[in-house]
C-alpha cells in the first residue's frame, strides 16, 4: 500500500522567494510576512478546532455531569456544579437493574453478530468485486449504494411484515437480519476501496510463489486490508449499536435494545434526567472507547478507502 499524498514537504524550487517578501499572491495584506501569515492561519485553525470541539463535546460533558450530580443542582436558575457531590450511585443502580442489563446484552449481541456477519460476507463480496471484472460490476456497486438512499422509515412496514412472517418479531435475530441487510451494502462498498488499494502485483507474486486463491486472500489481501476491515467493522458496530428506529418498530418488551431503553426514561409527563443521562453515557461509552482505541485505523482506513477506491 502506498501512503496517501499529503502536503508537499518542501517549497517548490521554481518559486524563489526574496527574504522577507510575501509569496506571489495579491490577497495577502501588504507588509505581512509569509511566516506571520502562516502563524495566523495556524492560530485561526486551532481556534476553530477548539470551537468545534466545544460544540461537539459540551453536550456530552453536560450529560456526564447530569449522570454524576443530583439533578436539582443542575436545574436551578444558576446551576450549581458542586463537584464534591458527585456520585456514581445511578451507574450502580442501572448496572444492577435487570431491566437495563438485558437491553444492554441484547444490543451487544445484535451489534457483534451484525458486525461479524457484515465483515464476513462483505469482505468476500468486496474482494470479488475488486479483483474480478464481470458484466454488471459497476451497476451492482451503484445499486448497493442506491439502497442507502432509501429512507429507513419507508422500509418500516415491509420489514415488519417480513419479520412477523418469519416469526422473528421481538427477537434479536430480527434486528441482526435487518441490520445486516441495511449495513452490508455500505460495508461492501467501503471494502471494495480497500481491496482495490492493494497492488495486484503482490497477489501475482504470491501466486507465483504457489499460493492458491484462498491462501492469497487469507495471507495477502486480508492482512493488508486490516485497517480497512477494522474501520469498516467499527462502522458496522456503531451503526447497529446506535439504531433506535428499527429497534423500536421490530421489537417489543422481549428484545428491547439499549437506545430504546434509554429513551424510555423520558416519559409522557416526566423525565428521569439522571437515569437518562447515565444511560446515555453508558450507551455512548462503547462507541467512544472503540473510536478512541481504533482512531488511527479508522482515519487511515477511511482515507485509504476514499482516495484509492
Partner 1 sequence: MSRPHSFPTSSAVSRRRFIGIGGALAAGGLLAACGGEEPVTGGGGDAAPASTLGTTSGASGSIRILDDNTNPVFLNGVVEAFQNDTGITVEYEQANFNDLHDRLATLFSAQDSSYDVVMTWAAWSAEFGQAGWLQALGSDAVPTDLLPAALDAVSWNGTVYGLPKFASAQTMFYNKELFRQAGLDPEAPPATWDEFVAAAKALTTGDRYGFTCDMGNTDGAYQNFVRTLLLNGGQMYGDDNTVTFNDERGVEALTKLRDLLTVDKVMNPSSLQITNASDLGTLFGAGQTGIVFNWPSQWAAATKEGAVVGRENTGNAIIPGISVTTASIDGSEGFAINQFSQNKPAALAWLQYVTQRPVQTRIVEEEGWFPVTTTLLDDAAITETLPVVSTYKEQSDFEIRRYGSPWYSDVTQVLSTNISRAMLEQATPQEALDEAAARATDIVERYTG
Least distance in angstroms from the C-beta of 38 to partner 1: 42
Q: How far lies 40's CA from each of 28, 30, 65, 230, 248, in Å?
A: 12, 15, 35, 37, 50
The window from 36-44, 56-64, 154-162, 301-309 that contacts partner 1 (CB under 8 A) reads 154-162
C-beta of 83 vs 154, nearer to partner 1: 154
Is 160 a binding residue for partner 1 by CB under 8 A? The answer is: yes
Q: How many CB atoms sit inside 10 A of residue 168's CB?
A: 19
C-beta of 47 vs 245, nearer to partner 1: 245
**Cell digits of residue 166:** 418469519
Is 303 a binding residue for partner 1 by CB under 8 A? The answer is: no
Q: Binding string to partner 1 for residues 209 to 238, with x set by CB under 8 A, is what?
A: ------------------------------
C-beta of 48 vs 157, nearer to partner 1: 157
Is 46 a binding residue for partner 1 by CB under 8 A? The answer is: no
CB burial readout 111-130, b (16+ within 10 A) else e: bebbbebbbeebbebbbebb
Is 69 a binding residue for partner 1 by CB under 8 A? The answer is: no
d(Cα 240, Cα 20) in Å, to the nearest integer? 56
d(Cα 217, Cα 247) in Å, to the nearest integer? 35
Is 164 a binding residue for partner 1 by CB under 8 A? The answer is: yes
Asked whether 228 and 305 are in contact (CB, 8 A), the reply is yes
Question: Which is it for the CA torsion 149, 151, 152, 158, positive or negative?
Answer: negative
Asked whether 181 and 140 are in contact (CB, 8 A), the reply is no
Binding residue for partner 1, selected from 21, 86, 161, 299, defined by CB under 8 A: 161
Is 149 a binding residue for partner 1 by CB under 8 A? The answer is: no
C-beta of 42 vs 253, nearer to partner 1: 253
For the chain, the residue count is: 309
Query: Interface with partner 1 by CB under 8 A: which residues?
Result: 75, 77, 153-154, 156-157, 160-161, 164, 169, 245, 248-249, 252-253, 260, 263-264, 266-271
Amino acid at each position: 500500500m502506498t501512503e496517501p499524498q499529503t502536503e508537499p514537504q518542501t517549497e517548490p524550487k521554481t518559486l524563489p522567494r526574496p527574504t522577507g517578501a510575501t509569496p506571489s499572491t495579491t490577497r495577502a495584506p501588504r507588509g505581512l510576512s509569509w511566516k506571520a501569515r502562516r502563524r495566523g492561519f495556524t492560530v485561526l485553525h486551532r481556534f476553530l478546532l477548539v470551537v468545534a470541539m466545544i460544540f461537539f463535546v459540551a453536550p456530552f460533558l453536560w450529560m456526564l455531569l447530569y449522570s454524576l450530580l443530583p439533578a436539582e443542582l443542575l436545574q436551578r436558575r444558576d446551576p450549581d456544579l458542586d463537584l464534591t457531590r458527585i456520585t456514581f450511585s445511578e451507574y450502580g443502580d442501572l448496572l444492577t437493574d435487570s431491566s437495563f442489563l438485558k437491553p444492554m446484552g441484547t444490543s451487544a449481541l445484535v451489534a457483534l453478530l451484525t458486525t461479524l456477519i457484515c465483515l464476513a460476507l462483505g469482505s468476500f463480496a468486496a474482494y470479488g468485486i475488486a479483483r474480478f471484472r464481470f458484466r454488471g460490476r459497476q451497476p451492482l456497486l451503484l445499486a448497493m449504494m442506491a439502497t442507502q438512499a432509501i429512507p429507513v422509515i419507508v422500509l418500516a412496514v415491509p420489514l415488519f411484515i417480513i419479520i412477523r412472517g418469519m416469526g422473528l418479531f421481538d427477537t434479536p435475530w430480527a434486528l441482526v437480519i435487518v441490520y445486516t441487510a441495511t449495513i452490508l451494502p455500505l460495508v461492501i462498498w467501503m471494502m471494495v476501496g480497500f481491496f482495490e488499494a492493494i497492488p495486484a502485483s503482490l497477489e501475482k507474486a504470491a501466486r507465483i510463489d504457489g499460493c492458491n486463491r484462498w491462501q492469497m486472500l487469507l495471507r495477502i489481501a486480508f492482512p493488508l486490508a486490516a485497517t480497512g476491515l477494522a474501520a469498516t467493522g467499527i462502522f458496522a458496530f456503531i451503526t447497529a449499536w446506535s439504531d433506535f428506529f428499527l429497534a423500536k418498530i421490530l421489537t417489543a418488551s422481549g428484545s428491547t435494545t439499549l437506545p430504546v431503553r434509554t429513551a424510555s426514561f423520558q416519559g409522557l409527563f416526566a423525565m428521569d434526567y439522571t437515569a437518562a443521562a447515565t444511560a446515555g453515557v453508558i450507551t455512548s461509552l462503547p462507541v467512544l472507547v472503540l473510536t478512541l482505541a481504533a482512531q488511527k485505523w479508522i482515519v487511515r482506513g477511511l482515507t485509504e478507502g476514499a482516495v484509492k477506491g
